[in-house]
Structure formats: C-alpha cells, structure tokens
Amino acid sequence: MSLWSRISNAVHGSRLNREIEEELQSHIEEAVASGRDPREARRAFGSALRAREASHSVRVTGWLESLLADLRFGWRQLCRNKVASAAAVLSLALGIGSCVGAFRLIDALLWRPLPIANSSNLYVLSRQMTGLYGKPTEDSYWATPDFNLMRDAVKEQADLIAISDADRTDITFSTDDDMEKAHVAYVSGNMFPVFGLEPAIGRLLAPADDRSAAASPYAVLSWEYWNHRFGRDPRVLGRPLHIGDQTFQIIGIGPRDFTGTETGTVSDIFLPLGMNDLSTRAGVSWHHTFLMLKPGINPSTALDPLRQHLSAISHAFEANCATCFRGVPQATIDRLLNKKLVFHPAGAGISDLQKDYRRLLGVLGLLVALVLLIACVNVSNMMTSQAAARSHEMALRISIGAGRRRLVQLILCQSALLAFLASVVGAFFAAWSAPFVLSLVNPPDNPARLALPADWRVLGFGFGLMILVVLLLGLLPALRASAVRPIAVLKGGADPHSRRRLMRGSIALQVAFCVLVLFLSSLFVAAFQRLQNRPLGFSTDRLLLLETVAGKGQLPVVWNQTAEVLRAVPGVDSVAISGWPLLGRIQINNDISINGAPPSPTPAWFLNVSPGWLSTMKIPLVSGRDFSQEDTSLKAAIVNETFARIFFPGQDPIGRTFARGVNQPLNKIVGVTADTPYHDLREPSRPVFYVPLDEIDADSATGPVRFATFVIHTDSQNPLALTATLRQLIAQRHNGLRVSNVTTELDLVRDQTVRERLLATLAAFFAAVALLLAGIGLYAVLNYSVLQRSREIGIRIAIGASRAGIVRLVTFDAFLMIALGGCAGIALGFGAARYIASFFYQVKATDAEMLALPACAILVTALIATLPAVLRALSTDPTEILRAE
Amino acid sequence: MARNDALQGSLDLLVLKILSRRPRQHGYAIMAAIANTSGDVLRAEEGSLYPALHRMEEAGWIRAEWIKKDTGRRTRIYELTSAGKKQLGVEESRWQSLSLAINRVLREV
C-alpha cells in the first residue's frame, strides 16, 4: 500500500504539493486562532519551501518522480521537432520491425523446439559421404531393415524412431471421385510414446503397430488437419481412408501442437511404417532415423560410443546387402560404402526448408541488422546535435548542482521514449511482415507452413532489442552531455573539433553499412536476373501440365487414346506425354554402359516421352529424328548434346548403342537434341536421354504405366483456363486415369527461382531503405555542420575565400569519409559474399559491375544529400554573420 | 534526516502516544498537546513535526483524513492504525529500557 501510494504520489506530484501547502496553512490558522502572533507562527515554520520539500520527499519515490519528470521533458523535446522525431521513430520502427520479423522467421524455422518431451535429447542420424562428381554430400535416408537392426542393437540406451518425409499424397475418404491431397508421413510405432504425446481423441500409433507388413492399416490424423478438414468432428474415428489401393482406418487424433518433425511442412496423416511397401526393401533408403536418448543417459559420454556401434551395424548391413548393389561397378560400391555416420541435434525438427533457407535467413538477419544500425546512427546523430544545441542548458544544470547521473538519465529517457514508440510501430510491422515473407516461399503445390506465434520468445527478443536500441541511441550523447565542462561551455564553445570528429565517424560508419547492404543486394539481384534469364532450351509458353495417375497402371495404348481425345478439344494446339515434367520433383538416373564395358562413373538421367513431345516443348533436334510410333520395338533413344559429348566424344552418336546398366538390352540412338535443364536450373547441363513412353522390357512386352504427365500446348495465353474441361474429359472416360495435379511449365520454372526471387526482392527493398536512411543521415550531418561553422564560413567569405574553396571546406571531409566508409563496406562485403557464394548463380563478388553499382548509388545519394548544405554555405551572408557576433 | 535519530525516535513516540490518548487530531493540536502535557518542556518544531507525520503515515502507523472545519477550510486529522498501536508498544518499551540504562549509568557514577 505504502509503495503504491508513493508511486501514485509521484505521478500526481502537483496535487501532493497542494495538499501539503494546504495542511501547513491550516496549521498556521490554528496557531493564530489560539492567540499566537501570525508573523511569529509563520516564522516558526522556517522556510515554507523547505518544509514542503521535506514533507514531499518522504511521501514520494524520488527516483520515480525524477524519472517521470525526465520523461515529460523528453516528450516535450520530441514534440518540439515533430518532423525530425516522426522520421526518427519511423526509421527506427522499420529497423526494429524488420529485425523482429526476421527473428520470428529464423526462430520458427531453426530454433524453436518441437512440442515434444525432451526435445534437447533428440538427434537425427545421417551419413557423410562422397557424392557424384566427388563432392562431399550427406545422406539422411535409411532403409527400414537397416533401421530395425540398429534399433534393436541400442535399445538399452536410446530409442530409434523412423519418420518419413511428409509427402503430398492423393487420398480419398469415400468414393474414388473426390480425390484430395494431404501430407502423409510414415512413422514407426514408437514415435508417439517416445515423444511423450497424448491423443486428443482415440488412440495413437503404438510399437505394436510395427508388426509385419500390412498388418496395421491404421491412420492417425494431426489435430491441425482434423480441425480444418473435419471441423473437429469426433465421428471421424473409424472412418476409412484410401491411399492408392490401400485402405486405412482412422483411429485417433494427435495432440494439438504436434505437426510432425518436418519444420515448414504440416504433417496431416501419420501411418505405420510397415504399411509402406518400401519398408521391406533392403536397397531402398526412404525414411529418416531419429535417436532419442533414454532418460538418465549423459549425452556427452554416451553419444560417441552409440555412434560407433550404429555405424558398425549399418556398415555390416550394407556390405551384406545382396540386392543393394546389383550391377554397380566396384568403384561406386566402394564410394557408397565409405560413409561416416553422424548425429545432428534435431530438437527443432529437420527439413529441406531449413537446409535451403538457413543461410538465406542469415543474410536476411544481417541485412535487417544493418538497416537498424543505420537508423540508430541517424537518430543518434540527431540526438547528438540536439544535445550540442542544449550544451548551454546542460552546463547550466551542472553548475547549479545537477548530478551527472541525472543528466545521463535525462537523455536515456528521451532515447527510451523514441525506442518505445518505434517498438510499438515496429511490432505492427513485424506482425505483418513475417507471415508476408513466409507466404512468398510458395511453390504452388507445397507452400511453406510455419507456426509464427507471438509468444514470450518473440516478446523477449523485441524487448531486448529495444533496450539495445536505447543504449545505442542514448549512451553516446548521454556520456557527452554529462562530460560537459560548464566553464568551457559558458565561456563560449569548447573544443569544436571533438564534435566534428564524432560526426565524421558516423558518416563513415553509415556509409560502410549502407555500401555493404547495397553490395550484397546487387549480388542477389544480379544472381536472380541471370538465373531467370538463363536460356532454357525449351519454351514454357502456353504449356499446361496434367500430372495424371492410373491406380495400378494402364497400358500405354490407353494413355495414347486419352491424349488423342484431348487433342480434339478446341483451344488445344498439341498434346504429348512424358513420364514426368522437366524441372519437376522427379529425377531418375541409370548407369550407362557402352559396348558392354563396365558403366562409367557418371550416370545419365532419362525421361520417357511420346512422339511429338520434343516439338510440343519446342526442343530443337540437332541431328537425327524424333520418335515415331514404331520406335518402341527398336528400343530407340534420343540423347542430348552433353550425353553425346560425354559418352561418344568426337563421334557421331546417331546409330550407336548404349545399355542402361550391365547386361541390359541395347538402346539405339536415333536423334540428338540441344541441352535443357533437367531437374535444377542452377546446374550445368546433365547427360540426358529420352526413351519412348511405351518402352518394352526384356521380354518384349510393354508394361502398364502408373503415372505420366500430359504436356498440352494451348492456344490461349492462360493455359490454366482449359483445366476444368480437360479434367472432366479424362474423368468421363472411366479408364482409371485421374488428374492428380495441374500446373504449367512456367510455374515449374518459377518455383526453381523462389528462393532467389525472395532474396532479391527483400535485398532490393532493404537496399532502398538503407540508401534513403543514409542519405537523410548525410544531409542532416552536413547541414548541421554548416550551421555550426557559419561564423567561420562567414569570416572566410569576408576575407575573400573563393566559392570553390568554401565548397571544398564543407564537403571535403564528408567525401573523404564516404570513400573510407565505402572501402570498408566493400571489404566487409567480400567477406560476407564468400560465406554465401552458393547463392550467386554465375555471379562473382569481384565482378566490376557488382562494385560499380553500389559505388555509383552511394555517390549519387551523397551528391544529392550534400547539395542543400553546400547551397546554404555558399549563400552565407558575411555581413549578417559578423553583425550577429 | 539521519542527523537527529534519537530525537526523531522520541518525537515518533510522543506523537503516537498523544494520538493513542486522543485520536483524530490535526497537527497543531498534536504540537500543542506535546507542549501542554510536558509542561512546556518539550516542544516539537513545526519543521520536523510534519515530515515526521508524513513519514509515519507512509509507514502505515497513522492514518490521515481531510475534514471540513467550521470556518469552511479543510484540515487534515490523524489517528492511529493497528500497526501504529503495535509500534507504540515497541517504542515505549525501547524508551523504558533506554531511560533505565541511562539512569543506571548515572547512579553508578
């Protein structure tokens, strides 16, 4: 109560003073009424002011009262320069908001622990090895039989958990017709219990569900999926769920927060590992393996023995695996067996999104931090110049006995006010920007999904950032102000150079940060442009792709008939079929054997295509011919130029043969095409060969085709306009073919550049902001220094200095600092660029144009920013200045 | 405030005692009561009485209230709280032991 009344008294200080005054008056009246002399009664009190002070000080918390007074004073200072203060608040808000927004993304993707028990004890197993072309690579996928051996071997110390990627899968809940997509993950039965998860309703998968293949057709839905797909209807339990030709029964709903271990993807449905056909195959690595230490096991001592034990088991398994390496050359086997098993902490989940965006987010964090620093330097400059303008006031305060601590507090209060206002505005910016940036990571069929809660982690970061900004802003001006020597100031200006030194330093600092941002941004933008303008070798114009599935498969003749039907639709120009689209997610390679020799160390990638696919894609033939309908029996093949160069150097490949692995039938080359990117826009061309869609196997029979893509060239600019018609046509034929996914070739190409586009967009935005802020800062500093030196300039003009001399006087220092800062920024930029060189498609940091762009931008900005100051200096009227002195 | 701790201590004791005998008094009356009952030996200075009153109020020993006088002006009257009664006991026994000790010293010599 007492503390509260003191606080409230501090807030209502003037009321308190009135009350004390009134009480003293009433005392004097009483005294007079009881017969004392009024003058004597008043004298007995001594100084009324002192009595009031003494009473006042016991009834308030002194520091709070002085703090409030300082805040009020600071607020009035801010209000005095409304425009400058608003600019300061806005630029800080942009910096703080961007930082908090970037933190939200980084935290959500990389740091936030999974909502499971003991997430800090969770690791993921992967193997470091030498990949194709001798590059080091890491394989994080495991075969289920191998997993089972490892799990049983270490079950005393740790639980091993198998979790597959949450793949976007076609599912149906009732009839075949309404097919939908959901992210389906196969998990070992111990996942839910080891993670300490409880069902929302029903039951979760248990170790008993790991029984032999196909014995546990049960499905668990995630809470999130249950919520948005079924509106939390409890009757969903027991309903069937069809995937391909399998039927599962829904037995339970997972806990509310758990959306799987793949950060950035929400797992909708969990199925038992054993229900996937792949789980019996020793040669297929398809799921991740997690390791959770048992309680009471010390990670620092237990992990390495565990790693060696698991490594030995896995190595023995692969060495014995009879089916793993059939027909693979010994060198490749040696390479594949030479692996090092490693553990990575997985408490925050693991995903490709993390791998792809970890460095990008690092760069983003750097950019926003730099923008915040530039804004801080600006505002700090503003406060320094204000403090300089108030140096008389400060000197006066000190000479009448203000403590230095109070002066520091006074200025820190003002910077705290600024930082607080900026944080409030910045919070709104962060609330909007983080989801917005996330929404830009949006390949249409697999947009990134992250929970971005504004919880204590984000608030704590925001608060810490605010404190940091307060210190950055206020500390320097505060220390300078408190170091004021009253005598020197009241005498009329102390060492004028010290202030100028500080200003010069701030120019250099700001320019360095700004050039760094500009330099990195120009690299990102150039890399994006080069990637986007990369010659494709095919045309994406008006190409519609219908990715189609056919249950257990349909004969090629049925696929061709369907294509024929599509060709008849008005608006369709041509139709071809390929196994999968170029630049899609699928890539398959074969070892290539020439003339029965062992396969070369480089594999080649292939694609099944129908006749006419090349012309529909507008891929030019270099020599030879396209497929015809009769090529199936001939086992014809078409290869690209890279294939020809690698496998038939210096020869004409037409008419030659190759085999897809040792002891396989021969394929005869009938044509050579130009190179096109196959899977990734950034890669150099791969060797690729095309074979007919209806290729025959060793028994001269064509097998069923389970999935393929109709490639449709349309008349209209928007190929998607035809989707509904074509989809309906295919469904009406009732031949088992169903459209699973609709996209355009243009979208697939765009998806390849999502990351680069995101980075280029953000970098360009921050570069513009940094340039603007640096320009404003430069303007303010120069303008202020001209104001400060107006006396000197006036005298110089009066004694006959030339205009050029005045301009040099005003700008020489600034441009020297700009040059210094620019060099420092470029040097920092080289360092940073090395760390992220992998982002720069065909762009080198040392390219002349990459250096020229930021240099020109900063120079132009500097010229514009110095112009007003130069004009002001030139228009100085010496008589006026000297008269004022 | 630290200058005259002993004096202040006894001022607190006097004020608390006066208020325990006659509750709801204003500052002047308390001052007058101290003077009267001590036979004009003890005088509380106005300059220290009011800070002491306000300090004790903040400590929660006494409670203050504004009332209207017949003249129409407001005056502030004080009364003991239960914490104040307890404090009075503490102060009284401390004073007793202090004066006992001082007397003993005087007798020895």
Q: Is the pLDDT of residue A779 over 60?
A: yes
Q: Pick A45's closest partner by Cβ from B47, B69, B74.
A: B47
Q: Are residues A258 and A270 in the same domain?
A: yes
Q: What whole-number distance in Å separates Cα of residue A512 and Cα of residue A231?
A: 54
**CA nearest to A3 within chain B:** B58
Q: What integer pLDDT is reported at residue A689 of this predicted model?
A: 92
Q: Is the pLDDT of residue A731 over 50?
A: yes
In sequence order, which residues have a C-beta less than 8 Å from that of residue A342 and are 6 or more positions away? A125, A126, A127, A128, A138, A307
Contact A710, A577 (CB under 8 A): yes
- The answer to whether residue A768 sits within a structural domain is yes
* pLDDT confidence band for A129 (50 / 70 / 90): confident
Disruptive mutation site among A55, A57, A61 for chain B (greatest number of B CBs within 10 Å): A55
A50 vs B contacts (CB less than 8 Å) = 47
Disruptive mutation site among B58, B66, B70 for chain A (greatest number of A CBs within 10 Å): B58
* pLDDT confidence band for B3 (50 / 70 / 90): very low
- What tokens were used for A571? 């608006």
pLDDT digits (tens, 9 = 90+) for A448-470: 777 777 788 888 998 999 888 88
For the purposes of burial, counting CB atoms within 10 Å of the CB of A801, is it exposed (0-12), middle (13-18) or buried (19 or more)? middle
Q: Pick A30's closest partner by Cβ from B28, B51, B54.
A: B28
A505 or A221, higher pLDDT:
A221
Q: What is the DSSP letter of A604?
A: E
A55 vs B contacts (CB less than 8 Å) = 50-51, 54
Q: How near does any CA of chain B get to the CA of A47, in Å?
A: 9
Distance of CA A75 to the CA centre of its chain: 38
* Residue A388 three-state SS: helix
- The answer to whether residue A596 sits within a structural domain is yes
Domain that holds residue A513: 495-534+752-885
* Residue A344 three-state SS: strand
B71 vs A contacts (CB less than 8 Å) = 29
Q: Are residues A196 and A250 in the same domain?
A: yes
Q: Which of A313-317, A487-491, A629-633, A871-875 has the lowest mean pLDDT?
A: A487-491
Q: Are residues A205 and A309 in the same domain?
A: yes
Residue B67 at interface with chain A, using a CB cutoff of 8 Å: no
Q: Please state the rounded mean pLDDT for residues B26-36.
A: 87
| Burial per residue of A215-234, b for 16 or more beta-carbon CB atoms within 10 angstroms, e otherwise | ebbbbbbbbbbbeebbeeee
Q: What integer pLDDT is reported at residue A884 of this predicted model?
A: 67
* pLDDT confidence band for B5 (50 / 70 / 90): very low
Q: Is the pLDDT of residue A381 over 70?
A: yes
Residue A2 at interface with chain B, using a CB cutoff of 8 Å: yes
A599 or A516, higher pLDDT:
A516
Interface of B with A in 77-106 (CB under 8 A): none
pLDDT digits (tens, 9 = 90+) for A396-437: 777 787 777 777 888 888 888 888 999 999 889 888 888 888
Q: Are residues A850 and A835 in the same domain?
A: yes
Q: Are residues A232 and A287 in the same domain?
A: yes
- The answer to whether residue A649 sits within a structural domain is yes
Measuring CA to CA, which residue among A727, A751, A741, A693 is closest to residue A547? A741
In sequence order, which residues have a C-beta less than 8 Å from that of residue A258 and are 6 or more positions away? A114, A115, A116, A195, A197, A222, A223
ipTM computed for the complex: 0.80
Q: Parallel, antiparallel, or unpaired: how do β-strands A246-253 and A201-202 relate?
A: antiparallel
A15 vs B contacts (CB less than 8 Å) = none
Q: Please state the rounded mean pLDDT for residues A777-781.
A: 83
Instruction: Output the CA–CA distances (angstroms, integers) from residue A532 to A312, A527, A678, A756, in the order listed.
Output: 46, 9, 15, 9
Residue B71 at interface with chain A, using a CB cutoff of 8 Å: yes
pLDDT digits (tens, 9 = 90+) for B11-24: 888 889 989 988 88
Instruction: Output the CA–CA distances (angstroms, integers) from residue A725 to A29, A93, A730, A853, A874, in the order listed.
Output: 100, 50, 9, 50, 74
| Burial per residue of A435-466, b for 16 or more beta-carbon CB atoms within 10 angstroms, e otherwise | eebbeebeeebbebbbebeeeeebeebbeebb
| Interchain proximity A23–B59, CB inside 8 Å | no
In sequence order, which residues have a C-beta less than 8 Å from that of residue A489 and are 6 or more positions away? A391, A392, A394, A395
Measuring CA to CA, which residue among A473, A378, A423 is closest to residue A99? A423
Strand (E) or helix (H) holding A719: none
Q: Is the pLDDT of residue A587 over 70?
A: yes
Q: How near does any CA of chain B get to the CA of A39, in Å?
A: 14
Q: Where are the beta strands (DSSP E) in A32-141?
A: 122-130, 136-139
Over chain B, what is the mean pLDDT? 82
| Interchain proximity B26–A29, CB inside 8 Å | no
Over chain A, what is the mean pLDDT? 83
- The answer to whether residue A746 sits within a structural domain is no
Question: For residue A240, what are the β-bridge partners?
Answer: A249
Query: Domains in chain B, please, with CATH?
Result: 5-108 (1.10.10.10)
Q: What integer pLDDT is reported at residue A3 of this predicted model?
A: 64
Q: Is the pLDDT of residue A253 over 90?
A: yes
Q: Is the pLDDT of residue A2 over 60?
A: no
Strand (E) or helix (H) holding B70: none
A43 vs B contacts (CB less than 8 Å) = none
**CA nearest to A31 within chain B:** B28
Residue B57 at interface with chain A, using a CB cutoff of 8 Å: yes
Q: What whole-number distance in Å separates Cα of residue A70 and Cα of residue A76?
A: 10
pLDDT digits (tens, 9 = 90+) for A109-118: 888 888 898 8
Phi/psi for A655 (5° steps) reads 90, -10
Report DSSP letters for A836-847, one per residue. TGGG-TT--TT-
- What tokens were used for A609? 């295509």
Q: What whole-number distance in Å separates Cα of residue B101 and Cα of residue A191?
A: 78
- The answer to whether residue A720 sits within a structural domain is no
Q: Are residues A148 and A100 in the same domain?
A: no
| Interchain proximity B73–A55, CB inside 8 Å | no
Q: Are residues A637 and A707 in the same domain?
A: yes
Residue B73 at interface with chain A, using a CB cutoff of 8 Å: yes
Strand (E) or helix (H) holding A205: none
If you search the block for the tokens 């998607």, which residue do you land on?
A720
Q: What integer pLDDT is reported at residue B4 of this predicted model?
A: 39
- The answer to whether residue A724 sits within a structural domain is no
Measuring CA to CA, which residue among A119, A121, A129, A6 is closest to residue A60? A6
| Interchain proximity B76–A23, CB inside 8 Å | yes
Q: What is the DSSP letter of A702?
A: B
Q: Are residues A237 and A199 in the same domain?
A: yes
Amino acid at A323: T
Q: What integer pLDDT is reported at residue A698 of this predicted model?
A: 56
Tabulate helix, strand, coil % of chain B (nearest 5). Answer: 65, 15, 20
Q: Is the pLDDT of residue A739 over 50?
A: yes
In sequence order, which residues have a C-beta less than 8 Å from that of residue A815 and are 6 or more positions away? A862
CB atoms within 10 A of CB B87: 20
Report DSSP letters for A777-829, one per residue. HHHHHHHHHHHHTHHHHHHHHHTT--HHHHHHHHHHHHHHHHHHHHHHHHHHH
Q: What integer pLDDT is reported at residue A163 of this predicted model?
A: 94
If you search the block for the tokens 């289920």, which residue do you land on?
A144
Domain count, chain A: 5
Cα radius of gyration rounded to whole Å, chain B:
15
Handedness of CA A96, A100, A102, A103 (dihedral sign): positive
Report DSSP letters for A124-181, one per residue. EEEEEEE-GGG-EEEE--B-HHHHHHHHHHTTTTEEEEEEE--EEEEEBSSSSSS-EE
Q: Is the pLDDT of residue B2 over 50?
A: no
Q: How near does any CA of chain B get to the CA of A373, in Å?
A: 46
Q: What integer pLDDT is reported at residue A597 of this predicted model?
A: 79
Residue A15 at interface with chain B, using a CB cutoff of 8 Å: no
Amino acid at A838: S
Disruptive mutation site among B66, B76, B81 for chain A (greatest number of A CBs within 10 Å): B76
Q: Are residues A327 and A400 in the same domain?
A: no
- The answer to whether residue A317 sits within a structural domain is yes
| Interchain proximity A51–B45, CB inside 8 Å | no
B60 vs A contacts (CB less than 8 Å) = 1-2
| Angle at CA of residue A266, ends A148 and A269, nearest 5° | 55
Q: What integer pLDDT is reported at residue A701 of this predicted model?
A: 65
* Residue A45 three-state SS: coil
Q: Is the pLDDT of residue A497 over 60?
A: no
* pLDDT confidence band for A164 (50 / 70 / 90): very high
pLDDT digits (tens, 9 = 90+) for A786-844: 877 888 888 888 888 888 888 888 888 888 888 999 999 988 888 888 877 777 777 77
- What tokens were used for B55? 């300090």
Contact A394, A408 (CB under 8 A): no
Q: Which of A162-166, A637-641, B38-42, B82-86 has the lowest mean pLDDT?
A: B38-42
| Interchain proximity B54–A59, CB inside 8 Å | yes
Q: What is the DSSP letter of A111?
A: I
| Interchain proximity B60–A2, CB inside 8 Å | yes
Q: Please state the rounded mean pLDDT for residues A774-780.
A: 85
Phi/psi for A510 (5° steps) reads -65, -45
Q: Are residues A92 and A191 in the same domain?
A: no
Q: Is the pLDDT of residue A192 over 90?
A: yes
| Interchain proximity B28–A44, CB inside 8 Å | no
Q: Which of A323-337, A450-464, A757-771, A805-819 has the lowest mean pLDDT?
A: A323-337
Measuring CA to CA, which residue among A632, A654, A630, A629 is closest to residue A643? A654
Question: For residue A127, what are the β-bridge partners?
Answer: A139, A341
pLDDT digits (tens, 9 = 90+) for A671-719: 999 999 998 888 888 899 998 887 766 556 677 888 899 999 998 888 8
Q: Please state the rounded mean pLDDT for residues A131-141.
A: 80
Q: What integer pLDDT is reported at residue A711 of this predicted model?
A: 93
Q: How near does any CA of chain B get to the CA of A58, in Å?
A: 6
In sequence order, which residues have a C-beta less than 8 Å from that of residue A671 and are 6 or more positions away? A621, A623, A624, A625, A626, A627, A638, A639, A654
- The answer to whether residue A736 sits within a structural domain is no
Q: Pick B50's closest partner by Cβ from A24, A30, A34.
A: A24
Sequence-distant contacts of A294-297: CB under 8 A, at least 24 apart: A294/A156, A294/A157, A294/A158, A294/A159, A295/A118, A297/A157, A297/A158
A695 or A579, higher pLDDT:
A579
Which of A26, A45, A60 represents a domain boundary (last residue)?
A: A60
Q: Are residues A772 and A840 in the same domain?
A: yes
Which of A686, A715, A744 represents a domain boundary (last residue)?
A: A715
Instruction: Output the CA–CA distances (angstroms, integers) from residue A367 to A371, A513, A521, A760, A770, in the order listed.
Output: 6, 9, 9, 12, 9
Q: Is the pLDDT of residue A323 over 90?
A: no
| Interchain proximity A58–B46, CB inside 8 Å | no
Contact A370, A409 (CB under 8 A): no
Measuring CA to CA, which residue among A637, A754, A600 is closest to residue A264? A754
If you search the block for the tokens 């001082």, which residue do you land on?
B102
* Residue A243 three-state SS: strand
Greatest C-alpha distance within chain B: 58
pLDDT digits (tens, 9 = 90+) for A626-652: 888 777 667 889 999 999 998 898 888
| Interchain proximity B58–A50, CB inside 8 Å | no
Q: What whole-number distance in Å separates Cα of residue A609 and Cα of residue A541?
A: 19
Q: Which of A9-13, A21-25, A186-190, A242-246 has the lowest mean pLDDT?
A: A9-13
Q: Are residues A339 and A365 in the same domain?
A: no
A325 or A142, higher pLDDT:
A142
Q: Please state the rounded mean pLDDT for residues B30-56.
A: 83
A483 or A546, higher pLDDT:
A546
